Structure 1
Amino acid sequence: MTDAAPVHPVDAVPPVRYLAALGLQHVLAMYAGAVAVPLIVGGAMRLPPADLAYLITADLLVCGVATLIQCVGVWRFGVRLPIMQGCTFAAVSPMVLIGTEGGLPAIYGSVIVAGLAIMLLAPVFGRLLRFFPPLVTGTVILIIGLSLLPVAGNWAAGGVGAKDFGAPRNLALAAFVLLVVLGVQRFAPVFLSRIAVLIGIVVGLAVAVPLGFTDFGGVADADWLGVSTPFHFGAPTFEVSAIVSMLVVALVTMTETTGDLIAVGEMTGRKVESRSLADGLRADGFSTVLGGVFNTFPYTAYAQNVGLVGMTRVRSRWVVAAAGGILVLLGLLPKLGAVVAAIPAPVLGGAGLVMFGTVAASGLRTLARVGFQDNHNLTVVAVSVAVGLLPVGVPTVYAKFPDWFHTVMNSGISAGCLTAIALNLLFNHLPSRAGSAVAEVPDPGGLPGGRVQEGVEKPREEAV
């Protein structure tokens, strides 16, 4: 009788009593971003409050279904890693333009076509995985983390548009939550340290309520039950200009999702292969089609939750599947969703600082395995990070450019990813020219002549 094969941590199912807490932690990490897209698009189109509320509940419902498909997997749909799905911010500007001219039906028509295109292109992107060696993946993960830090900073200051944005009391609350998270991680028992973010948010909320940070007025107005029905705002319309804009967005989201999937693969010890990458992207496309049908928007992997996986070291995909189930409940029970929405931005900001910083640190950990001596890898990282952070530091830098260029380059993640791929090809794949040759030095881990191949891991050294 042979022993059963050990279960990989990604496939391990934690005890039921832990699933709810760990899953809720993931929901809280992405909730603000999930509801932001329908709020921005609906607000720009001047939709009435009832329609805005409908967009939010529809978004949460499809977020949950999309997350379940991505984590659990159905046939060739789903990467089967701990990945949360949510509406992509890359589509906000194009959708606002489309919606103000053609209304919501024009948005949903273009979203459905974009989702179908992602499903068709998924195998093609899967074959491009060889262009993502550790040099590129580490750089992309680093850019993802650094790009998210301003989001946490805005939350900590009170949230964009808040009347008291930057008030010392907002930053003090965020700092308090950060200290609680760090204290729980350092001193609490193992399980409690795994839900340090959830504990920080709960404790922060408990402090925020008596200090007047919270407003539960929306809870009383929310319905107890809400079900999103297909094409609630009318049959979709298919306009060529809208479809072209959304196809550009589709390429951007595929690039971003590729970076997120590779990042989670690195953190969980289950490396993403060509087939699993294609399966993950195919799930993205199917979720986007569902979004167009059920009155919401394009979906992608959420980088916020990548940081949570790295920070908590909880690698089970079933934890994130539990989070997907919670999102489905929030989408069906608007009153419950309104309670979660009442969590003050500074509370989320304190938790976000450590989560998003963890993503950046994970990128540095991946880059630590790459050789940087006697090659051009440092240039690849330096320029890619600079290009990726340019739109983060100067959001209007590409405002005068055409819409398609703005859509691609204004996402720091896609801009940095494309730059890293291009520079890796330039310096490590194309034949050397005079003036760019790499010095010949003996290197047992490199190519003949001492060149280190684009991101191949350098020989590991024992820790001192």
Structure 2
Amino acid sequence: MAGYDMTTDRNAPATPSVRNELIYQLDDTPAFLPAVFAALQHVLASFVAIITPTLIVGSVLGLGAHVPYLVSMALFVSGLGTFVQAKRIGPVGSGLLCLQGTSFGFLSVILSAGFIVKGRGGSEEEILSTIFGVCFCAAFVEIFFSQFIGKLRKVITPVVTGTIICLMGLSLIKVGMTDFAGGYGAEDLGALHHLALGALVLLTIVVLNRSSSQMLRLSAVIVALTLGFAVAWLTGRVDFSEMAEVPLISVPQPFKYGFSFDLVAFIPIAVIFLITPLETAGDLTANSIISKQPVKGPLYMRRIKSGVLADGCNSAMAAMFNSLPMTTFSQNNGVIQLTGVASRHVALYIAAILVLLGLFPMVGAVLQLMPKPVLGGATLIMFGTVAVAGIKILTEAGLHRRNMLIVSISLGLGLGVAAVPEALAQMPEMLRNILGSPIAIGAFSAIALNVFLPEEPVAEDDYDPEAHLHTVLQNRQDDACEDSLNTLSRDLDPAPRSN
């Protein structure tokens, strides 16, 4: 059944203007070559982010033999998810040019779930069976709440979201630093040659990120990883001997490793599925701004609900095809502004490229050979960036006395149980496993305190329309569209600034 076209509403509110005029509007159909060129830039901007969570999970949980297939499936489902999100199938999909990819937000809770199974002697297949089974069930939390996104945002406010995102980044720093120093199980952990290789990647990202060229900034991580991989290969630290055993084609098999469920692993993952809808809403809002689409009114809300619903459905599909949960990527908003191409038809080319890459496990096999310090040099920055993103949200939400109390208690509990897990030793095993997750205990604390602590009245003199704007957009807009956001201040300002 053809979906409702949300791009042709005569009663829609005026569209915000953007600094750069679009070459192709949302419903335009570019010629083949411009479409392919734009699609390749989206893929290059997102490729590393799509595969890195899988590489990290495979490395930390010791799933080496399965990593090539898992990377292939990550690319495959990203292609399918991108198609669904842009094409809009019935009520599912935003109808925007936005790319779906593996979410970093779930890393810490998925690793925790894997360690639960590993701790009781589970095999690699049992670990994967539990991870994908739990993620499949938890995805329905987002599917359900997609229809109540407005009410959800009243409970999970920016102070809650910022606290949880900050905890996500901080709890993963140890993973990134361990890889930087040589990786889990390395006999020479911390050796100078490991640190030098990781530092090379890290410094390359820093230098390229400070470049005046937007293309270099977008490709900083890819260039740094390629350089690090090349140096490792030239110094004899990459062994291609096992590549001959990699099959030519990866055949997607639903629940290849079986289907298992664990309540203790489910709860923290379900909590994150309550957070991702808010992030997706912000990403879709930023995408709407850059694509010159309305950002308020029934058309906008329908787009947000359909986009979040697609996120949940795509995450369930990802689990079925043996991949980690997905979310709408934000870095592609910058690519749209860079290229001037907002046509959702380009997403069909993006989807085709990702699906084709996913069918060939050689891609995952080569990436698996990447030395841990190379990966650690990049992920250390990525995880730190996640934590800073949470801090930015908290700053924009306002760190007055009430919010500081919520953040302080939640961060203290989350980081506390991570540093001293023995503090929960006397609790029942199920409760200990649930609260032993920094994300879970921090999220429960932030949500409960946010609900029960009374709001502090805001004086009219303290009203800041720019802070209000960022709150409305859930603090998730890209730096690339910052100039465009400023033009919305007048429309979204419910009260004049007091003189």
> TM-score, normalization: structure 1?
0.72
- Name the aligned partner's letter for residue 365 of structure 1: K
Equivalent residue runs for 1:328-347 within 5 Å: 328-347=355-374
Q: Give the CA deviation at 1:209.
A: 1.4
Q: Give the CA deviation at 1:227.
A: 0.8
Moved more, 98-107 or 207-216: 98-107
> Is contact 1:257-1:300 (8 Å) kept?
no
Residues 379-400 of structure 1, C-alpha deviation per residue, up to 9 Å, x if partnerless? 1222222233334444666566
> Is contact 1:111-1:246 (8 Å) kept?
no
Name the structure 1 match of 2:48: 28
Change (3 A) 1:404 1:146: same
Residues 36-60 of structure 1, C-alpha deviation per residue, up to 9 Å, x if partnerless? 54677785xxxx95x7765554455
> Is contact 1:380-1:423 (8 Å) kept?
yes
Q: Secondary structure at the match of 1:205?
A: helix
Name the structure 2 match of 1:358: 385
Q: Give the CA deviation at 1:223.
A: 1.1
Q: Equivalents in 2 of 1:245, 1:441: separation in Å?
A: 40
Name the structure 1 match of 2:395: 368
Q: Equivalents in 1 of 2:124, 2:187: separation in Å?
A: 31
Name the structure 1 match of 2:200: 176
Q: Give the CA deviation at 1:222.
A: 0.6
Moved more, 167-176 or 276-285: 276-285
Name the structure 2 match of 1:283: 310
- Name the aligned partner's letter for residue 159 of structure 2: L
Q: Secondary structure at the match of 1:84?
A: strand
Name the structure 2 match of 1:384: 410
Change (3 A) 1:371 1:327: same
Match 1:161 to one of 185, 193, 209: 185
Moved more, 213-222 or 278-287: 278-287
- Name the aligned partner's letter for residue 390 of structure 2: G
Change (3 A) 1:288 1:26: closer
- Name the aligned partner's letter for residue 76 of structure 1: P
Q: Secondary structure at the match of 1:225?
A: coil
Q: Secondary structure at the match of 1:215?
A: coil
> Is contact 1:83-1:261 (8 Å) kept?
no
Q: Secondary structure at the match of 1:219?
A: helix
> Is contact 1:194-1:313 (8 Å) kept?
no
Q: Equivalents in 2 of 1:400, 1:61: separation in Å?
A: 44
Match 1:194 to one of 206, 211, 218: 218
Q: Equivalents in 2 of 1:385, 1:313: separation in Å?
A: 36
Q: Equivalents in 2 of 1:313, 1:359: separation in Å?
A: 22
Name the structure 1 match of 2:241: 217
> Is contact 1:310-1:359 (8 Å) kept?
no
Q: Equivalents in 1 of 2:83, 2:428: separation in Å?
A: 37
Q: Give the CA deviation at 1:176.
A: 1.4
Q: Give the CA deviation at 1:424.
A: 2.0
Name the structure 1 match of 2:454: 428
> Is contact 2:247-2:362 (8 Å) kept?
yes
Q: Which runs of no fewer than 5 residues in structure 2 stay unpaired?
A: 1-9, 290-294, 476-492
Is residue 208 of structure 1 aligned with residue 232 of structure 2? yes
> Is contact 1:248-1:408 (8 Å) kept?
yes
Moved more, 32-41 or 160-169: 32-41
> Is contact 1:110-1:243 (8 Å) kept?
yes
- Name the aligned partner's letter for residue 343 of structure 1: M
> TM-score, normalization: structure 2?
0.67
Residues 231-289 of structure 1, C-alpha deviation per residue, up to 9 Å, x if partnerless? 5567x6xx8xx364565355234134246436646876868987666545533543354
Q: Equivalents in 1 of 2:50, 2:417: separation in Å?
A: 22
Q: Give the CA deviation at 1:337.
A: 1.9
Q: Give the CA deviation at 1:124.
A: 4.7
Q: Equivalents in 2 of 1:65, 1:396: separation in Å?
A: 43
Change (3 A) 1:210 1:427: same
- Name the aligned partner's letter for residue 247 of structure 2: D
C-alpha RMSD of matched pairs (Å): 4.8
Q: Give the CA deviation at 1:210.
A: 0.9
Name the structure 2 match of 1:255: 274
Change (3 A) 1:388 1:192: same
- Name the aligned partner's letter for residue 176 of structure 2: A
Q: Equivalents in 1 of 2:285, 2:177: separation in Å?
A: 26
> Is contact 1:258-1:277 (8 Å) kept?
no
> Is contact 2:255-2:320 (8 Å) kept?
yes
> Is contact 1:23-1:320 (8 Å) kept?
no
